[in-house]
Amino acid sequence: MERRLTKPVVTVVVIVALLGAAIFYGAYHLLKRTEPFALGEHCEVTTPEGTLDLDIEQAQIAATIAAVATRRRLPERALQIAYVTAIQESKLANLPYGDRDSVGVFQQRPSQGWGTSEQLQDPVYATRKFFAALEKVKGYRTLPLHEAAQAVQRSADGSAYADHEHNARILAAAFGGRVPQAVHCWYPPSDEPVQPRPEAARKQLVRALGSDTAKRGWLVAVWYVTHAQKYGLREVRYDGVTWTAASGHDGWRKDTKPVATVQIA
């Protein structure tokens, strides 16, 4: 015998379904809002080509590679080549180990004349060595990214660099400063107060970028944001917007007092 649901039962079913949907909707959006905190220390990179999530070390290394490239007056394509290499070799991490005697961001080998192990674990030094080798590659500006990377690295499988070309373009546009407000980072609140060290931050930036930092705009702003936790920086201001450590997950916010050059505190 076919049984039909009575109106009260149908009503209860509908109410339960609606409540379930409401709970799911609310939980979803709550998780979206708290996602940055769940990720802990983190950076987000957003350009018209897409969005990437990086941990703090990856973001710092990406910013340093861009600074060194700019100091050498290299084109954005050189920066893309460096990124496909660094992503493939170390996932943008400063590794103290690797295949045989390889170390550092680009997994360069002391035995092959790149430098000492200690030197190659300095991202500024390692990046300088990479670009010096890249500049010797004939026609690197027009070569496919993975072929240019392979010409420098001489890896066992140079085709693997091609897997990272899309991400490299996103990183180069953001960290090179071509796309404004493309990078923001957030950190969990510290239990102990951190003394800001802006002069130490400036000194390290100059080491990578050179003394002409005033004209570098968003590249400089992004470098400071990615290094804010390390140097205890509370805010970075530039081009009518401000990033603050206290609300870093909200990204760049409109500044009531726009500044023409990057300011940190």
On the question of pLDDT at 8 being above 70, the answer is no
Q: What is the mean pLDDT of residues 82-104?
A: 97
For position 257, what pLDDT does the model report?
Answer: 86
On the question of pLDDT at 184 being above 80, the answer is yes
On the question of pLDDT at 82 being above 80, the answer is yes
C-alpha closest to that of 54 among 204, 145, 182: 182
Burial of 203 (0-12, 13-18, 19+ CB in 10 A): exposed
Q: Name the percent of the chain lying above pLDDT 70.
A: 85
Angle at alpha carbon of residue 232, lines to 246 and 204, rounded to 5°? 135
Strands of 263-264's sheet in order across: 253-254, 241-244, 235-238, 263-264
Q: What is the mean pLDDT of residues 190-208?
A: 91
* DSSP label at residue 190: P
**Tens-digit pLDDT profile for residues 226-239:** 999 999 999 999 99
Q: Looking at 75-84, 159-168, 206-215, which range is the least confident one?
A: 206-215
* DSSP label at residue 137: S
For position 56, what pLDDT does the model report?
Answer: 97
Question: Rounded to an integer, what distance in angstroms lies between the CA atom of residue 138 and that of residue 125?
Answer: 23
**Tens-digit pLDDT profile for residues 169-181:** 999 999 999 999 9
For position 38, what pLDDT does the model report?
Answer: 43
For position 10, what pLDDT does the model report?
Answer: 40
* DSSP label at residue 108: B
43: enclosing H helix or E strand: strand 42-47
Question: Rounded to an integer, what distance in angstroms lies between the CA atom of residue 110 and that of residue 238?
Answer: 40
Question: Rounded to an integer, what distance in angstroms lies between the CA atom of residue 19 and that of residue 21?
Answer: 5
Residue 239 CB neighbour total at 10 angstroms? 17
For position 232, what pLDDT does the model report?
Answer: 96
For position 192, what pLDDT does the model report?
Answer: 77
> So where are the chain's domains?
50-175, 192-264
Residue 158 CB neighbour total at 10 angstroms? 17
As given in the structure block, the two tokens for residue 162 are 């091609």
Q: Give the chain's mean pLDDT.
A: 88
For tokens 């390692």, name the residue: 126
On the question of pLDDT at 31 being above 60, the answer is no
User: What's the predicted TM-score (pTM) here?
Assistant: 0.84
As given in the structure block, the two tokens for residue 165 are 């070309």
Contact between 94 and 107 (Cβ < 8 Å): no
On the question of pLDDT at 139 being above 90, the answer is yes
Question: Rounded to an integer, what distance in angstroms lies between the CA atom of residue 41 and that of residue 173?
Answer: 22
Indicate the pLDDT class of residue 155, thresholds 50, 70 and 90.
confident
Contact between 117 and 101 (Cβ < 8 Å): yes
Question: Rounded to an integer, what distance in angstroms lies between the CA atom of residue 230 and that of residue 139?
Answer: 38
For position 4, what pLDDT does the model report?
Answer: 52
Question: Rounded to an integer, what distance in angstroms lies between the CA atom of residue 72 and that of residue 51?
Answer: 27
For position 23, what pLDDT does the model report?
Answer: 36
For position 37, what pLDDT does the model report?
Answer: 40
Q: Largest Cα–Cα distance in the chain?
A: 88
Q: What is the mean pLDDT of residues 10-26?
A: 41
Indicate the pLDDT class of residue 25, thresholds 50, 70 and 90.
very low
For position 244, what pLDDT does the model report?
Answer: 97
Contact between 98 and 112 (Cβ < 8 Å): no
* DSSP label at residue 82: H
